[in-house]
């Protein structure tokens, strides 16, 4: 689709906007700053054509206007073979609210409190391994296995390392196409890799659901099997599988990614490490600030009716990408937006999105992040990234570090 005559191009970047590009995903902030200043609503002809929103106010308006912007499909380009809305991620009102009512109570802080002790124990066990090794890849040693083990607990499974690693591989391939041989730009290989991983994850979840049908437990899947949609009917198996699929992709990858970027910035800033070690009460605020500073979700909306955003006319069917990483670095919303300030108390933020589709697992993610920082700093108060470390990232609906070389000491 060619650029509409009224739309401003992303040409100010010197090339197409591509959130799947690994180089862009590693550090997109200079590009976002340029777009916010020169072209806050920009049109890219990539992936069939879409608008890119980079200002906080425009992104907030879109995310809080579900009557004008549909959540289906949630990514650009849509996942191959994806012909059914993921629940509740891509479902619009009024069905979205009815689905959320089934699971919202399970993800409130009070409901999550009973698992906090086991989450902390799992974090402490992983930190033991980190301490013993001294130098390692933070992503594989902590950031991936930690949230995967939490998900297995939620669905009533033991934290089996082999299954935990399989979940990591499937979710990463589906969201980022990380399988060997599926390089960025090789569309055929990428589609094949994502579809293969999606099928494997689906089969795993189907076996779990079938087991819970015959032997219910006190876990998330058993709850969904007993739940009633709008008080009228039970969920069918396809709906439950759909729910579980979203929980894997959203619950694993986002926490892995947030941990990776957060500890990258902490490792590069000894002064921030020292602040948190000296005063652990700062950690909850620090977690929120690190999530703002390096927001990783890149979501899409579809225009339902004529709308004007940032002075640009949008028409039904137009695709709009909202870059949370850009909105959360907007100086019009945050003082010194490019600085990390643990005492920051923003009026509002886009860490977990906004509106009715605000992240279902925000409380769980916050708990996991807080416990991770507490446990790592308790055992490893001084850490670093090697000065010659070569970093790489995966792009996609979430940006993720591919690797993070990590040392349990620092030179100063």
User: What pLDDT is recorded for position 185?
Assistant: 65
What pTM did the predictor assign?
0.93
User: What pLDDT is recorded for position 320?
Assistant: 97
Report helix, strand or coil for 108. coil
Separation CA 87–CA 100 (nearest Å): 9
Cβ neighbors of 239 (< 8 A, separation 6 or more) are 87, 229
Report helix, strand or coil for 293. helix
Structure tokens at 298: 């890149």
User: What pLDDT is recorded for position 186?
Assistant: 67
> What does each of the 412 residues of the chain score in pLDDT, given as a tens digit?
567 766 788 888 888 899 989 999 999 999 999 999 999 999 999 888 999 999 999 999 999 999 999 999 998 887 666 778 889 999 999 999 999 999 999 999 999 999 999 999 999 999 999 999 999 999 999 999 999 888 888 888 777 778 878 888 888 888 776 555 556 666 677 778 878 888 999 999 999 999 999 999 888 999 999 999 988 899 999 999 998 888 888 888 899 999 999 999 999 999 999 999 999 999 999 999 999 999 999 999 999 999 999 999 999 999 999 999 999 999 999 999 999 999 998 888 999 999 999 999 999 999 999 999 999 999 999 999 999 999 999 888 889 999 999 999 999 8
CA distance readout (Å), 63 to 38, 53, 121, 315, 388: 22, 11, 36, 17, 40
Q: Are strands 41-44 and 312-314 parallel, antiparallel or unpaired?
A: unpaired
> Any bridge partners for residue 406, and if so which?
136
The answer to whether the CB of 66 falls within 8 A of the CB of 75 is no
DSSP-assigned letters across all residues of 154-207: HTT----HHHHHHHHHHHHHHHH--STT--TT-HHHHHHHHHHHHHHHHHHHHH
Structure tokens at 12: 């100010």
Q: Burial level of 41, CB count in 10 A (0-12/13-18/19+)?
A: buried
Whether the bond between 77 and the residue before it is cis, its omega within 30 degrees of 0, is yes
User: What pLDDT is recorded for position 98?
Assistant: 95
379 membership: H or E segment, kind and range: helix 362-379
Size (the chain), residues: 412
Structure tokens at 196: 């293969």
The rounded Cα 126 to chain-centroid distance in angstroms is 22
253-275 b/e with 16+ CB inside 10 Å = b?
A: bbbbbbbbbbbbebbeeeebbeb
Whether the bond between 88 and the residue before it is cis, its omega within 30 degrees of 0, is yes
Output the 3-class SS for 235-275: CCHHHHHHHHHHHHHHHHHHHHHHHHHHHHHHHHCHHHHHH
- Domain-by-domain residue ranges, the chain? 8-380+401-407
User: Phi and psi for 103 in degrees, rounded to 5?
Assistant: -120, -20
Cα atoms in the 13 Å half-sphere on the side-chain side of 92: 14
Separation CA 210–CA 203 (nearest Å): 11
Cβ neighbors of 258 (< 8 A, separation 6 or more) are 290, 291, 294, 296, 365, 369
Q: Could you say which architecture CATH assigns to the domain 8-380+401-407?
A: Orthogonal Bundle (1.10)
Separation CA 316–CA 290 (nearest Å): 36
User: What pLDDT is recorded for position 20?
Assistant: 87
């Amino acid at each position: 689709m060619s650029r509409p005559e009224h739309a401003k191009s992303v040409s100010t970047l010197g090339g197409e906007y591509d959130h799947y590009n690994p180089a862009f995903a590693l550090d997109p902030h200079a590009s976002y700053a340029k777009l916010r200043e020169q072209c806050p609503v920009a049109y890219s002809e990539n992936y069939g054509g879409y608008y890119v929103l980079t200002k906080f106010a425009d992104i907030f308006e879109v995310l809080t206007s579900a009557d004008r912007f549909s959540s289906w499909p949630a990514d650009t380009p849509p996942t191959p073979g994806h012909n059914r809305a993921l629940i509740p991620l891509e479902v619009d009102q009024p069905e979205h609210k009815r689905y959320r009512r089934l699971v919202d109570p399970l993800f409130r802080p009070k409901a999550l409190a009973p698992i906090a002790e086991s989450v902390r124990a799992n974090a402490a066990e992983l930190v033991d391994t980190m301490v013993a090794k001294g130098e390692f890849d933070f992503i594989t040693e902590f950031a991936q296995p930690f949230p995967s083990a939490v998900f297995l607990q939620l669905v009533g499974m033991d934290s089996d390392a082999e299954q935990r690693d399989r979940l990591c591989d499937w979710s990463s391939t589906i969201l980022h196409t990380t399988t060997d041989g599926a390089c960025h730009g090789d569309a055929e290989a990428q589609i094949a890799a994502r579809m293969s991983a999606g099928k494997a994850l689906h089969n795993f979840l189907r076996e779990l659901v079938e087991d819970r049908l015959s032997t219910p437990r006190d876990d998330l899947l058993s709850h969904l099997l007993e739940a009633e949609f709008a008080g009228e009917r039970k969920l069918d198996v396809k709906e439950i599988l759909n729910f579980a699929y979203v929980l894997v992709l959203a619950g694993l990858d986002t926490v892995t990614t947030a941990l990776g970027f957060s500890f990258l910035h902490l490792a590069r800033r000894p002064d921030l490490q020292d602040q948190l070690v000296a005063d652990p009460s700062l950690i909850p605020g620090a977690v929120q600030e690190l999530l703002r500073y390096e927001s990783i979700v890149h979501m899409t909306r579809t225009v339902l009716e004529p709308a004007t955003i940032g002075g640009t006319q949008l028409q039904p069917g137009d695709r709009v990408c909202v870059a949370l990483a850009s909105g959360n670095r907007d100086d019009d919303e945050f003082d010194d937006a490019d600085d990390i300030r643990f005492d920051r108390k923003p009026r509002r933020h886009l860490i977990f999105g906004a509106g009715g589709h605000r992240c279902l697992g925000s409380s769980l993610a916050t708990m996991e992040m807080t416990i991770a920082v507490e446990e790592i700093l308790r055992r490893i108060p001084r850490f670093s990234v090697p000065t010659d470390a070569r970093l790489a990232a995966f792009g996609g609906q979430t940006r993720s570090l591919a690797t993070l070389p990590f040392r349990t000491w620092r030179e100063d």
